[in-house]
Amino acid sequence: MAVTIAETRDIALCRRLRRIVFIEEQGVSEADELDDLDPVAIHLLAEEGAPLGSARLLVLGDTGKIGRVCVLAEARGRGIGAALIRAAVARFRDMGLARVILGAQVHALGFYEALGFEALGEVYDDAGIPHRDMVLRL
């Protein structure tokens, strides 16, 4: 069975995946993980018979923002994260946006650079994890 990436309106399912990865695995606080942006976001879900990962997309003027990208530990290393990012970029490109931004955990900079993103600015703390902003011009 192949992995599929599709939009979903099942915010609760995406939050369950994010809880496993961010809160349980990475130690992010629930207060840092949960916000009021989920209802206005586009959510992508990666599935292969069962949910494996998700990403959240926000539109900010002519800019698309990718956030809350997660893949369950047992599914990592199979290109699912890259497929989520490519799907998000394609969605934003189809919308005619000028650029895509994201805040990358520092350990994942190379992952995003391989997908065409460029690091900007200094390292900063987000929920106790070092991050750096990145951009992809469309």
pLDDT for 7-16, tens place per residue?
999 999 999 9
pLDDT at 1 over 90: no
pLDDT at 136: 98
Question: Average pLDDT over the chain, rounded to whole?
Answer: 97
* CATH architecture of the domain with residue range 4-137: 3-Layer(aba) Sandwich (3.40)
Domain ranges of the chain: 4-137
> How confident is the model over 84-102, as pLDDT tens digits?
999 999 999 999 999 999 9
The two tokens of residue 120 are: 């900007």
Calculate ∠ Cα 13-17-20, nearest 5°: 140
> How confident is the model over 39-74, as pLDDT tens digits?
999 999 999 999 999 999 999 999 999 999 999 999
pLDDT at 22 over 80: yes
Calculate ∠ Cα 137-46-62, nearest 5°: 25
| Alpha-carbon Rg for the chain in angstroms | 14
pLDDT at 98: 98
pLDDT at 17 over 80: yes
Distance separating alpha carbons of residues 27 and 60, to the nearest angstrom: 28
pLDDT at 107: 94
First to last CA, the chain: 32
pLDDT at 124: 97
How many CB atoms neighbour CB 11 within 10 A?
14
